Chains A and B, each alone.
Chain A
C-alpha cells in the first residue's frame, strides 16, 4: 500500500508543484483543501491509470474525494 501511496504522491507533485502534502493527515483532507482542482485531478487520474493499468470511469470520480481514496481505489482494483 505504501508503494502505491508513494507513487500517487510522486504523480501529484509532478502534476501540480503547488499541492501541499505536509503529513499523513493531508491524504485524508478534501482534494481542494490541499490545492488539487478538477483539472489537476484529470491529470492525476490519467497518470494513475497509465501507471497501474486501472481504468477509472467518470461516474466513480466523485467518490474519490481524498488522496487516500485514490490510493484505496487503485489498491482494490489491482487486488493488492
Chain B
C-alpha cells in the first residue's frame, strides 16, 4: 500500500499586490477580494528555475522529516514550465541537485491544474508495480515564465509555487493517507481555451469556467457514487484554486457547505498543479478527518478527481 506520508511546499517570497494594479485594470477592491480571491500573486526571482523551486520544497520536506532524502527510489516532477527548454527533464535536474542514487527512477509529467491528482495515481501505481518504497512527487509550474503582465485574465490570478509529496510503501505502519479511487476526464478538442502561444499564456476565462463548473460536479458525483459515499460523508473538498469565484460556484453546484471547501488563494494566487498539495499539506495531520475529495481541472482541457482516506489494514488487501 502506497500512502501519502508528508507534503511540504515552497512559495517564493516575491509578491505583486493586485490592489496596486486595480486601477490599471479598472477593478475595485471587492472584485479582487470576493471574486478573484487573490490579493497578492507570488513571483519567483528572475534567475530562479523550476528545479530551484523544487529544491526549496525538498528542503522544507527534509526539515519536516528531520533527515536527508537519500533513500528515494522514484522522483517525478509535474510541470509544463520546465527548466530551460525542457531537455533534460526537470526531474533529472532535481535528481542531480538532491544527489540521489543512480538507481532512482525519474520522469516528468506534462499536465497543468489536474496534474497533482494524475501524479498521485501515476506515482503510486509506478511504485506499486515496481516494488519501490519511497517516492517524491513534485509539482512546480511557475506561470510567471509565460504570463503577459498586461493580460487581466491571467496576470492577477497565477502565482508561483512548488510542492513535494512524500509517498511511501506503508508496510505495517499503516500511517498516512491513501488514494482509494480516481476519475479522469479529457476534452482535447477545447484545449485552446488555455494554451501557451509563443511563451505567452492565453486563457478563455468563460470557456474554462463553463467547462469546470459543469464537469467537475459530475465527476465528483460519479466518484462518490462508485465509492458508495455521498457528499455528506466527505469531510473536505479540496478544489483546484482557479479563483475564489470558481471555487464558490463549484461549492454551490456540489451542494456542500462552504466550510468544507477550504481556500488558499489570497496570499499567492492560483499555483496550477501545486494548488491541491498546498491545501492538502494543511489538512493531512487533522485527526478528525476520514474522507477527502480532491479535484483538479484546467489545461487540456483535463480534469481529475480522487478520494483520499486514512490508510488502514484493509487497504493492504
State whether the Cβ of A24 lies closer than 8 Å to any Cβ in chain B.
no
Contacts of B209 on A, CB cut-off 8 Å?
A: 39, 42-43, 46
Contact-residue size bin, chain B (C-beta under 8 Å from the other chain) = 10 to 19
B214 adjacent to A37 (CB under 8 Å): no
Within 8 A of A (CB), among B202-217: 205-206, 209-210, 213-214
Within 8 A of A (CB), among B261-300: none
- Chain A residue nearest to B31 (CB atoms) is A37
A58 adjacent to B31 (CB under 8 Å): no
Contacts of A39 on B, CB cut-off 8 Å?
A: 35, 209, 245
Within 8 A of A (CB), among B44-67: none
Contacts of B206 on A, CB cut-off 8 Å?
A: 42, 58
Say whether, besides A37-B31, A37-B35, A46 and B214 are in contact (CB < 8 Å).
yes
User: Roughly how many angstroms separate A58 CA and B252 CA in the complex, as a whole number?
Assistant: 24
CB distance from B32 to the nearest CB of A (A): 11
User: Roughly how many angstroms separate A9 CA and B172 CA in the complex, as a whole number?
Assistant: 58
User: Roughly how many angstroms separate A39 CA and B245 CA in the complex, as a whole number?
Assistant: 8
A42 adjacent to B35 (CB under 8 Å): no
B210 adjacent to A46 (CB under 8 Å): yes
Q: Which applies to chain B's interface (DSSP): helix, strand, loop or mixed?
A: helix
Choose among A14, A42, A46, A58 the residue with the greatest number of B CB atoms under 10 Å from its CB.
Answer: A42
Contacts of A43 on B, CB cut-off 8 Å?
A: 209, 213, 245, 249
User: Roughly how many angstroms separate A39 CA and B38 CA in the complex, as a whole number?
Assistant: 15
User: Roughly how many angstroms separate A39 CA and B206 CA in the complex, as a whole number?
Assistant: 8
Contacts of B245 on A, CB cut-off 8 Å?
A: 39, 43
User: Roughly how many angstroms separate A41 CA and B24 CA in the complex, as a whole number?
Assistant: 22
Within 8 A of A (CB), among B189-246: 205-206, 209-210, 213-214, 245
A42 adjacent to B31 (CB under 8 Å): no
**Contact among A14, A37, A46, A58 for B213, CB-based, below 8 A:** A46
Contacts of B210 on A, CB cut-off 8 Å?
A: 42, 46
Contacts of B35 on A, CB cut-off 8 Å?
A: 37, 39
User: Roughly how many angstroms separate A39 CA and B249 CA in the complex, as a whole number?
Assistant: 11
User: Roughly how many angstroms separate A37 CA and B35 CA in the complex, as a whole number?
Assistant: 10
B205 adjacent to A42 (CB under 8 Å): yes
| A29-45 near B? 1/0 per residue, CB < 8 Å | 00000000101001100
- Listed in ascending order, the chain B residues whose CB lies under 8 Å from chain A are 31, 35, 205-206, 209-210, 213-214, 245, 249, 252
Q: A14-B252, A43-B249 are in contact. List 15 more A-B contacts (CB 8 A).
A: A37-B31, A37-B35, A39-B35, A39-B209, A39-B245, A42-B205, A42-B206, A42-B209, A42-B210, A43-B209, A43-B213, A46-B210, A46-B213, A46-B214, A50-B214
20 A-B interface contacts by CB (under 8 A): A14-B252, A37-B31, A37-B35, A39-B35, A39-B209, A39-B245, A42-B205, A42-B206, A42-B209, A42-B210, A43-B209, A43-B213, A43-B245, A43-B249, A46-B209, A46-B210, A46-B213, A46-B214, A50-B214, A58-B206
- Listed in ascending order, the chain A residues whose CB lies under 8 Å from chain B are 14, 37, 39, 42-43, 46, 50, 58
